[in-house]
Structure 1
Amino acid sequence: MLHIDATFRALTPGGRALLDHIRHSTQNLLLQSMPDTTYERLASHFERIDLPAKHRLEEVHQPIDFVYFIESGLASVVAQTRDGLQIEVGLIGREGFTGASLLYDDDQTPFECYMQVPGEGVRIATPIFAAAVFQSHQLRRSLLRYARSATIQLAYTTLCNGKTHIDQRLARWLLMVHDRMLSSALPLTHEFLSVMLGVRRPSVTDALHVLEKHGLIGTSRSMITIKNREALILFAGSTYGPAEREYLRLTGQTLGQRSW
């Protein structure tokens, strides 16, 4: 059971001015869309933090100490077995937050969540977050609707992994990363791609060559550049788009204002 006895700080005029500055500068779409009073309930307790690559945000079956609202960079949610099998089951960028299991009164997760692309964000201690969610119906509703969109993303990832070729899976995944980044140059290694897609590194190399041959992407050492997004969408087929439309329906936000 989560403890929700946290006390919220009253805002001084200077503190409110600082929060207003953070609010207008944040790149996190959920924070941008929150009503002022809902946002202030969280933001008075935010701690700004750098998020380097491989920084762990959640560990398997360990207490979740902080909730992170990512503003730049990219986090992967990875499922794994005792004998080392692993695959990505979720992406979190500036459209969302970590620690969604807390909304269901569960303070841990069977998945690992770590930064794949370095960035920045803000975090809030779990007891403070739990208290805010308990006390604010509007906040709880907003976060639950995002959590719902994440389960839909997972469902379409499962469909794509089970029914499409690795080339299409890679195309869809690159589009999802592009949606969450502010650049068409994506700092991604073959090692990460093999984990994300659940395939061997040679299969990743072959799939990248296919997309590059069609002029959809460019590749260099530890970097993939999206060259023709519209053609990449066509190549990915119908598995890209449904989850993105559901995110728009549920949150009212468009991922990167991009077409799908």
Structure 2
Amino acid sequence: MSSLIPPQRNHLLAALPPAELARMLPHLQLLTLQRKQMLHRCGERIAYAYFPVTAVLSIDYILENGDTAEILNIGREGLLGISLCMATHHAVERASVHTTGYAYRIGAAQLLSEFYRNGQLMRLLLGYTQQRLNRISLSAICNRHHSLEQRLCRYLLEMLDRGTSRELECTQEALGAILGVRREGVTEAVRRLQLLGVLHWSRGRVRLLSRAGLEAHACECYQVLRKQTARPAIALLDLPAHLLPERRAGLLVSGRRVVAERRRSWQLLAEAS
């Protein structure tokens, strides 16, 4: 753990009560992650979870013909490895580093040990899971109804919100794979945005010149996603006070039996470690 880049720069860690964060601190390791670095592959056992600080991580699905499609990217608002808390210990997708930067890593057993204390971390991660589901659903609608130029602006704004620089390293081929279109379509959309003075693209690097211009040409989905990300994940799980004891007993996670099964899965993981 580093005082120069505090873990609280990740939104989930920042929302933890001091006592819960203090228990996790000895297990948090600050890493510098490099662009295109592989964090886990499909079918591999998930050994670690990652709390990005300045890095942006990407979750991709690989098709039978070798093509890839980005499912989700994760920045300082979230966590890579949430499936561990859903009793899934083997990856069903590929995870890599989209943008070079820092992230805190924690072992799977240590994360689950804190999660099953039924404290604030459990509530945060369940709320964050709901946010992710909402985001994936909205992206599917966006891909169906909005133009490539609108979706490109939305994507660049999301990356701008997560990063510390107005310059991104990304090829047009990579953007085509992310947006699910041919490279030629990305080239034309980039050309139009350059003429409008919104951005400048050169040799795999895009410099964002006008945030206002990006927002003007982005679809409505960006503002929806921005509001959801800005809203604390824990707010999604607010219940009346009289329900709290039952929730801590496991009713929030589809009943006591499901929680018991997940605890058993964690115990098996800890023994295997």
Q: Which residue of 1 aligns with 2:220?
A: 238
Give the match's secondary structure for 1:240: helix
Choose which of 48, 71, 89 in structure 1 pairs with 2:30. 48
Whether the aligned pair in 1 keeps the contact of 2:59 and 2:93 (CA below 8 Å) is: yes
Q: What does residue range 163-202 of structure 1 map to in structure 2 within 5 Å?
A: 163-202=145-184
Q: Which residue of 2 aligns with 1:133?
A: 115
Deviation at 1:123, TM superposition (A): 0.5
Which residue of 1 is the match for residue 54 of structure 2? 72
Runs of 4+ with deviation above 6 angstroms: none
Aligned to 2:9: 27
The one-character-per-residue Cα deviations of 1:87-130 (angstroms, maximum 9, x if unpaired) are: 21111011111001112111123221100111111111111111
Contact 1:67-1:99 within 8 A present in 2 as well: yes
Aligned equivalent of 1:221, options 203, 209, 217 = 203
Q: Paired residue for 1:13?
A: none
Maintained 8 Å contact 1:67/1:126: yes
Query: Match for 2:128 among 141, 146, 162?
Result: 146
1:44 aligns to what SS in structure 2? helix
2:169–2:206 Cα contact (<8 Å) kept: yes
Measured after TM superposition, the shift of residue 29 of structure 1 is 2.0
- SS of residue paired to 2:151: helix
CA contact (8 A) 2:127 2:234 kept: no
The code of the aligned residue for 1:209 comes to: R
| Distance verdict in 2 for CA 1:22–1:66, change over 3 Å | farther
Q: Give the whole-Å Cα distance in 1 for the aligned partners of 2:194 and 2:137.
A: 28
Determine if contact 1:65/1:125 at 8 Å carries over to the other structure: yes
1:98 matched residue in structure 2: 80
Q: Provide structure 1 residue ranges, at least 5 long, that are not aligned to the other structure.
A: 1-17, 254-260
Does the Cα contact within 8 Å between 2:7 and 2:14 map onto a contact in 1?
no
Number of aligned residue pairs: 235
Gaps of at least 5 residues in structure 2 are 236-273
Percent identity, please. 27
Report the structure number with the largest CA radius of gyration.
Answer: 2
The alignment's TM-score, normalised by the length of structure 1, stands at 0.84
Distance 1:73 1:24 in 2: 14
Which one has a larger percent helix, Structure 1 or Structure 2? 2
Report if the CA contact (8 A) 1:71-1:120 is conserved: yes
- C-alpha distance in 1, partners of 2:55/2:204? 15
1:25/1:110 CA distance change after superposition, 3 Å: closer
The 1:179–1:223 alpha-carbon spacing in structure 2 relative to 1, beyond 3 Å, is same
Counterpart amino acid of residue 96 in structure 2: Y
